[in-house]
Amino acid sequence: MKKIVSILMCLLALKSFSQDTDQKFIIITTDGLRWHEVFKGMDSMIAIDPRFNQDDSLELFKKYWSSNLSQRKALLMPFFWSTIQSQGQLYGNRNLGSKADNANPYWFSYPGYCELLTAQADTSINSNDFPPNPYENVLEHFNKKSNYKNRVAAFGSWNAFDRILNEKRSGFPVINAFDDNQIALDQPDMKLIHQMIINGFRPFGNSEILDVFTHYQAFTYLKTQKPKAFYISYGDTDEWAHHGEYKFYLEAIHQFDAWIKEIWEYVQSDPFYKDRTTLLITTDHGRGDLKKENWTSHGQSIPDAHETWFAFIGPNVKPLGEMKDTQQVYQKQLVPTLIKLVGESFKPAHTVAEPIVLPLKYNSSH
């Protein structure tokens, strides 16, 4: 009997050990999505403005408007306001006292992604044309760990990620924009997606592709290569906002929400990922709202463009939904918080920010 008990205890120990060391994470960003739409749904003042509604306000109101706040936000982002609300945590609703901000003083993309992915705000990173990032990012760090090595990859719509993630030095695949994508071209789906990227319409020129291609490349890679540390970066939200096309911006948000649903449902249906995968979902910067027409823009000249948002969902995330009256959170703290949630460490040569004090879920397996 004693022997059986000790064997059982050994098995139990092994079980919780595998859960502790076999955690995966996916960081997902959508460029320049405002917290206002995340927490309040469609903005009726922008939607009725003929400068922005693309002559289709009727359709916009039909699809995304309700005078009831909780119905309205769920019309725009149904997955956020069902599954993430009931199983995860959502930060950044300033109306409820939850403030999330850039710590960097620039409020545009390269400094924002650098702050997020290297967990610090260095003021020398001050341009979208900045050369390859001198700082080690979290994916690069994980690719050096024996239990994550060669199970790390990043997909992005914008070609600047080759520099932001310092592809040459980092040593993991960074597939962006019109990149060759040699790492997975043996997958028939990947070949077709790549042909469509090369031969399709280029609304954002030669540095950025439509998110539909980024998503299906990343999703195919996720299902076939099973990365353990993964990054997907979407960009349509920022592009359509800069164009002042509020209808396309809203459609991009709605589609982003649907893709997160697709990813999460796949993760939770696959034995390799199920209950061992944490998602961090966020953005690189905010955009204006104090002056309504500034919703199209961001950067230092827009006084409220430092306001951001983020969400967590995963096995160690306590299901508290929309957070109220939280501490002030900075973008540089998000990755340290994520890494704490997966029970790992992120200790590059530079100093990283402290994780936020997150209400942790009691995990019954240990």
Helices (H), the chain: 2-21, 35-40, 44-47, 57-64, 69-76, 85-87, 109-118, 138-143, 161-164, 167-170, 188-199, 211-225, 236-242, 246-267, 334-341
Smallest distance from the beta carbon of 206 to Zn ion, in angstroms?
17
Q: Could you give the strand order of the β-sheet that contains 321-322, starting from the edge strand earlier in sequence?
A: 174-176, 152-156, 229-234, 24-30, 277-282, 310-313, 89-91, 321-322
Orientation angle between helical segments 246-267 and 211-225, nearest 10 degrees: 10
Nearer CB in complex with Zn ion: 143/296: 296
User: If we measure between CA atoms, which residue out of 281, 255, 261, 211 comes closest to residue 25?
Assistant: 281
Smallest distance from the beta carbon of 44 to Zn ion, in angstroms?
24
Smallest distance from the beta carbon of 243 to Zn ion, in angstroms?
11
Smallest distance from the beta carbon of 289 to Zn ion, in angstroms?
15
How open is the CA angle 89-76-209, to the nearest 5 degrees? Answer: 95
Smallest distance from the beta carbon of 145 to Zn ion, in angstroms?
33
Nearer CB in complex with Zn ion: 238/304: 238
Q: Which pair of structure tokens corresponds to residue 150? A: 């060669």
Nearer CB in complex with Zn ion: 152/160: 160
Smallest distance from the beta carbon of 247 to Zn ion, in angstroms?
18
Smallest distance from the beta carbon of 134 to Zn ion, in angstroms?
23
179 binds Zn ion (CB under 5 A): no
Cβ(331)–Cβ(309) below 8 Å: no
Burial pattern 174-186, b for ≥16 Cβ within 10 A else e, equals: bbbbebebebbee
**CA distance linking residue 296 with residue 249, whole number of Å:** 10
Nearer CB in complex with Zn ion: 110/172: 110
User: If we measure between CA atoms, which residue out of 306, 282, 163 comes closest to residue 231?
Assistant: 282
**CA distance linking residue 345 with residue 18, whole number of Å:** 17
Q: Which of 115, 162, 238, 257 binds Zn ion (CB under 5 A)?
A: 238
**53, exposed or middle or buried, with CB in 10 Å at 0-12, 13-18, 19+?**
buried
User: With CB under 5 A as the contact rule, which of the stretches 9-17, 110-118, 144-152, 237-245 interacts with Zn ion?
Assistant: 237-245
Tallying the residues shown for the chain, one arrives at 366
For Zn ion (CB under 5 A), the number of binding residues is 2
Smallest distance from the beta carbon of 300 to Zn ion, in angstroms?
13
User: With CB under 5 A as the contact rule, which of the stretches 27-35, 125-133, 248-256, 306-314 interacts with Zn ion?
Assistant: 27-35
Nearer CB in complex with Zn ion: 32/88: 32
**CA distance linking residue 318 with residue 47, whole number of Å:** 35
Nearer CB in complex with Zn ion: 32/173: 32
- Which amino acid does the sequence have at 111? P
Positive or negative, the Cα torsion across 74, 79, 82, 84?
negative
Nearer CB in complex with Zn ion: 244/314: 244
Nearer CB in complex with Zn ion: 143/237: 237
Smallest distance from the beta carbon of 183 to Zn ion, in angstroms?
28
Which residue's Cβ lies closest to Zn ion? Answer: 238
Which 58-97 residues touch Zn ion, going by CB under 5 A?
A: none
Nearer CB in complex with Zn ion: 32/336: 32
The footprint of Zn ion (CB under 5 A) covers 32, 238
